Chains A and B, each alone.
Chain A
Amino acid sequence: AQSVTQPDIHITVSEGASLELRCNYSYGATPYLFWYVQSPGQGLQLLLKYFSGDTLVQGIKGFEAEFKRSQSSFNLRKPSVHWSDAAEYFCASHFGNEKLTFGTGTRLTIIP
């Protein structure tokens, strides 16, 4: 069965430091991949998505993600985090007409 794994439940980063959130998927072929952010009290917001083509995807709010087929990974990165980036981040994927599968989420805390 398809699955999405986010190994880190909680990450704490200093403001201004770089960030990388990990995401791994299990599929035989390349799925469609997404990163969503959930700010407190809000619904999900799409940060970026990968369908095909360039493996480095640029998203909103200064985020980017790189698809690495050899590692079955789609890690989210940001060079310098801001206090407003504190939120829950979800990686998700689907393949073909199958339903969207979410990772369990990574909570990001920003310290001054």
Chain B
Amino acid sequence: GAVVSQHPSWVICKSGTSVKIECRSLDFQATTMFWYRQFPKQSLMLMATSNEGSKATYEQGVEKDKFLINHASLTLSTLTVTSAHPEDSSFYICSASSRVNEKLFFGSGTQLSVL
């Protein structure tokens, strides 16, 4: 079945640094990718939707200058957390689909810890 690879699975960084998370569709072309964030003991929060070759659509309350999303190819989307702070520590997960009405596949997630 289709596979979405997310890397790294966990990362620890210093406050003020930037962290890039990659989401790759390994055996299909992902026209749409979603980025989510999960707070402890809470459900996932959709951060943004990215379509290949166009700017990401951010959900209300998500800072687009802080969470940079790039979907430059049909197999790769990246989320960059810029100038990370401890409150950005969270679990981030991506998902991808090949086109509308296709099944959604999830990456394995990235646990970010900002010290």
A residues lining the B interface (CB < 8 Å): 32, 34, 36, 38, 40-41, 43-44, 46, 49, 51, 88, 90, 92, 94, 97, 99-100, 102, 105, 107
Contact = CB atoms under 8 A, between A and B. Distances in A.
23 contacts: A34-B43, A34-B44, A36-B43, A36-B44, A41-B32, A41-B100, A43-B34, A43-B46, A43-B49, A44-B36, A44-B104, A49-B43, A51-B41, A88-B103, A99-B91, A99-B93, A99-B109, A99-B111, A100-B44, A100-B91, A100-B93, A100-B109, A107-B103
Interface residues of B, number: 20
A100 to B, nearest CB: 5
A41 B36 CA distance: 15
B82 interface: no
B44 A40 contact: no
The 4 closest A-B pairs by CB, nearest first: A41-B100, A43-B46, A40-B101, A43-B34
B2 to A, nearest CB: 11
Main secondary structure of the interface of A (DSSP, over half): strand
B111 to A, nearest CB: 6
Interface string B71-104: 0000000000000000000010101000011011
Q: Taking each of A40, A43, A49, A88, which has the highest tally of chain B beta carbons within 10 Å of its own beta carbon?
A: A43
Contact of A105 (B38, B101, B104): B104
Contacts of B41: 32, 51
Interface in B13-56: 32, 34, 36, 38, 40-41, 43-44, 46, 49
Given A46-B43, A100-B93, A38 B100 contact: no
A34 B34 CA distance: 18
Contacts of B67: none
Contact of A44 (B32, B46, B100, B101): B46
B3 to A, nearest CB: 12
Nearest to A9: B103
